[in-house]
Amino acid sequence: MEVPEYTISDLETLFDQGQWTSVSLCEAFLKRISEIDTAGPTLRSVIEVNPDALAIAKALDRERDQSGPRGPLHGVPILIKDSIDTADKMQTTAGSLALEGNIAPQDALLVEKLRDAGAVLLGKTNMSEWGYMRSTRGCSGWSSRGGQVRNPYVLDRSPLGSSSGSAVAVAANLCIAAIGAEVDGSIVRPSSTNNIVGLKPTVGLVSRSGVIGVSSPQDTAGPMARCVADVATVLTALTGVDPRDPATQSSVDQSEQDYCQFLDTTMIKGARLGVARECFGDHEGTDAIIENAIRQLEELGAVIVDPVQASTLPMFGELELELFLYEFKASVNRYLAEHPGAKVKNLAELIQFNRAHAEQVMPFFQQELLEIAQAKGDLNDAAYLDAKAECYRLSRTDGIDKALKEHRLDAIIAPTEGTPAFVIDPVVGDNILKLGGSSGCSTPPALAGYPHITVPAGYVHGLPIGLSFFAGAYQEGKLISYAYAFEQATQVRRPPGFVESVSV
């Protein structure tokens, strides 16, 4: 049976009416993964399916019949990024052959929360290996374990971002929603490029325990779905304080019991939205789409403040990369120390494994970022502390906080990604680091640790373009309401066509 692009709200009704069960829905998605992801267009977005998914779905169907649903996610199939621990038969590898066979000793807290909400973990999604922190010539969506993820809108175009598999799986209707993880752009950039809604929460709103990260001041996991309402529903299930992640303590009295309360199209009336003009100018097609979106926001009642400046920091610029290299070493060593079943025990052993298996692991690009990180000191080094302080100053004090205060803004808007998706090139790579930064607006809210949502805004030659909203800490509710109002008024999103290439 074909699976329409259902929302979570649709499924609540269909489950109640008996038109679908969790088992029949999971079976349909598993069949679709086999036909479209593994074969057919060969998207390679799903790195592994859960062998227990149908048994879990069966138990949840029985529970629904006996005592009713736990909530809106009861029986809903969700995919999880391969950097997030699941204490089951699935591996957690960050896309790396060096971690093949790694079975987590316990669930990440966010996974535990999804299970408690009744979600079915259908499988794990492919990703940019080690969160794109292996090489200066990395290729978005490529991993030595999972191969190259492909963009379902135009198959030879990049899926972008570390959470590429999660975005593509949602866009191609291989699940209802997915969980991604971001350090800078890894949720919002692939969401934009694959025409879905992605929300990077405030650092501390969602626990990172059991998540292979890159840089603790910025790391967070978040929901990815085809509509704002589903993102709000999944976010509600993910939040909470975790003793294993001290950053979550800051969310006490800051998180909301239900983010669906912000699905209100009237909240945008009178909202002051600042236009971050430094994020424009990289492609006339993208700029035209976002200029049109700004006019639509004005028609919805928003007050547009143009221009404002959110930050001068480029993506993966020297300052941010310096922070990442120190943090990545600490993060990988900490994760591996907590996972005694892994084949490698620390970053040094990971580097050696890759050298020993270079033909499989490094056929296109090397591991110079791993090697530079290994040569760094610890998190007490003055160079690290200076970089961290400067990143906070430029992204918060002299960046987003300043813009919000000076212009009395509710949020800042910009193109999520400055250009349409570029062509996949494993030989040359994405060239993000070589260019000294990348277009788009992911870096200021990422470095600040602030929330950021992207929503479909239009197309350039069939390639999706996303509109971003970001603001200060714990302003997820406002951002959801603005994105929802725009989404409901414009109805931009359409399913992918699996086109081989842009016609020339």
Catalytic residues: 81, 162, 186
Return d(Cα 275, Cα 201) in angstroms, integer: 21
Cα gap 393→345, rounded to integer Å: 35
End-to-end CA distance of the chain: 36
Which tokens belong to 252?
A: 């006490």
**Contact by Cβ (8 Å): 129, 36:** no
- Considering Cα of 89, then 93, then 97, then 103, what sign does the dihedral take? negative
> In this structure, what DSSP letter does residue 421 have?
P
**3-class SS string, 361-401:** HCCCCCCHHHHHHHHCCCCCCHHHHHHHHHHHHHHHHHHHH
Nearest CA-CA partner of 278 in 315, 307, 299: 307
State the DSSP string of 148-204.
E---SSBTTB---STTHHHHHHHHTTSSSEEEEEESSSTTHHHHHHTT-EEEEPPBT
Q: Is 59 helix (H, G, I), strand (E, B) or coil?
A: helix
Q: In whole angstroms, give the CA distance from residue 2 to residue 434.
A: 44
Query: CA–CA separation, 136 vs 346, rounded Å?
Result: 21
For 102, the 3-state DSSP assignment is coil
